Amino acid sequence: MGFFNKLKEKLTKQTNTITEKFKDGLTKTRENISSKVNDLVARYRKVDEDFFEELEEILIQADVGFDTVLELVDELKMEVKRRNIQDPLAVRDIIVEKLVEIYRGDEEEINTLNIQQDGLTVILFVGVNGVGKTTTIGKLAYKFKQEGKKVILAAGDTFRAGAIEQLEVWGERVGVDVIKQSEGSDPAAVMYDAIQAARARHADILLCDTAGRLQNKVNLMRELEKVKRVIEREIPGAPHEVLLVLDATTGQNAMVQAKQFKEVTDVSGIVLTKLDGTAKGGIVIAIRKELHIPVKFVGLGEKMDDLQEFNPEQYVYGLFAGLVEEENARTDDGGDL
């Protein structure tokens, strides 16, 4: 697999640690795709319409997304025809190449956070309850603190029982201040207090939690608008990021949530948690392709540093590492390809 081996070589030169994190974190998805693709390749002696139909089904089951899969398979068919490929094994390398291309798209990809070099950076987090929003805030606070930045947390989810306490636990664990009011208080007032505290304490980063009730989108929209209005009034141009936190294990339901939040607020990036806990990690491709919102972080485990900046090449490597290593092992043993 030429393209994949070049990709692996490039990533190995960059950093072995992150490559291994993506590889380990995508184990369930890789096992789901690898075993099925291996079986598909073993059963077909040539690349025909039936081969592509089964490949479509495998990718759809991995939550790559129906429209995205159809586009991918159409492009594969054209490449197979253009290169006159007969061997199903050769198709696997093209799949890797096309997945990287599809994720990147025609747009300039902005995976990195919009961090202000001078002054306070305000990052607003949105997402329904239970997706790992508070944990994400805690892990990002840890990441920024490790980078030498002064971080403050704003407990803006004032309605969910225990939300403020949960954020305080993370604040103590990481060693950062948490600005809060009493349960049921106005989230916008919390944000105002947090900005004043961040300024007074010369903080670099302010991470803001918000309520995650989608049952009444009108109320949620008004609440988020009010919060953003207060932030922007105090710091023109802020919030600098609005990150939507989604649970990868919910598959297509995560896509539905993303569409709903996109309707009520300007989402600048997505954090996809629990990617290591699902066999349907193809949802990353579906979200990027259908919603045109970059995935900026992915959760690849329970440890503090397992929330990783998303990299499409690392991701695709993680998806297909098993396939290629098996194939290379057979080659080294003198097996036929």
Bridge partners, residue 57, by sequence: none
276 is in an annotated binding site: yes
138 is in an annotated binding site: no
**Which residues are CB-contacts of 199 (< 8 A; sequence separation ≥ 6)?**
120
pLDDT of residue 336: 44
Q: What is the pLDDT of residues 268-309, one digit of tens each?
A: 999 999 999 988 888 888 888 888 888 999 999 889 989 999
212 is in an annotated binding site: yes
C-alpha 111/C-alpha 159 separation (Å) is 31
Whether the pLDDT of residue 331 is over 50: the answer is: no
209 is in an annotated binding site: yes
Q: What is the pLDDT of residues 127-149, one digit of tens each?
A: 988 899 999 999 999 999 999 99
C-alpha 10/C-alpha 165 separation (Å) is 44
Average pLDDT taken over every residue of the chain: 85
Would you identify the CATH topology of the domain 2-107+316-332?
Four Helix Bundle (Hemerythrin (Met), subunit A) (1.20.120)
Domain limits, the chain: 2-107+316-332, 121-311
Would you identify the CATH topology of the domain 121-311?
Rossmann fold (3.40.50)
Supply 145's token pair: 């603190």
210 is in an annotated binding site: yes
Alpha-helix runs per DSSP H in the chain: 2-14, 16-25, 27-43, 49-61, 66-83, 88-104, 133-146, 163-174, 187-200, 217-234, 252-264, 283-291, 312-332
300 is in an annotated binding site: no
Whether the pLDDT of residue 125 is over 50: the answer is: yes
114 is in an annotated binding site: no
Indicate whether this model's pTM tops 0.75.
Answer: yes
Q: Which one, of 322, 239, 327, 314, lies nearest residue 284 by Cα?
A: 314
Please provide the size of the chain in residues. 337
322 is in an annotated binding site: no
169 is in an annotated binding site: no
Q: Are 265 and 240 in contact (CB under 8 A)?
A: no
DSSP at 313: H
| Strands 151-154, 177-179: pairing kind | parallel
**Which residues are CB-contacts of 35 (< 8 A; sequence separation ≥ 6)?**
none
Q: What percent of the chain has pLDDT over 70?
A: 86
Whether the pLDDT of residue 179 is over 90: the answer is: yes
pLDDT band of residue 52 (cuts 50, 70, 90) is very high
pLDDT of residue 159: 86
